[in-house]
Amino acid sequence: MFELIFVLIFVATLLVTGITFMTVLAATAIALIVMFVLGMMGVVLKLLPWLIVIALGVWFFKNFVYSTR
């Protein structure tokens, strides 16, 4: 949600200052890409403890529970 608010304020600021429409579109595209990448990194960091727990569970299952024939 904060990413969307940032992009809308960014576009409004560019339009009010009188920058050309093509520049506004380019800046908006770059801002959306940056916010998307930062949002994805935030999700990964938020899920990192669970990913570590899952990796440890898979390792434990492969090494101690599951026996090969």
Indicate if the pLDDT at residue 63 is higher than 80.
yes
Name the residue range of residue 48's domain.
2-65
pLDDT in tens, 17-30: 877 888 888 888 88
pLDDT in tens, 39-61: 899 999 999 999 999 999 999 99
Provide the total of helices (H) and of strands (E) in the chain, helices listed first: 2, 0
The total number of structural domains in the chain stands at 1
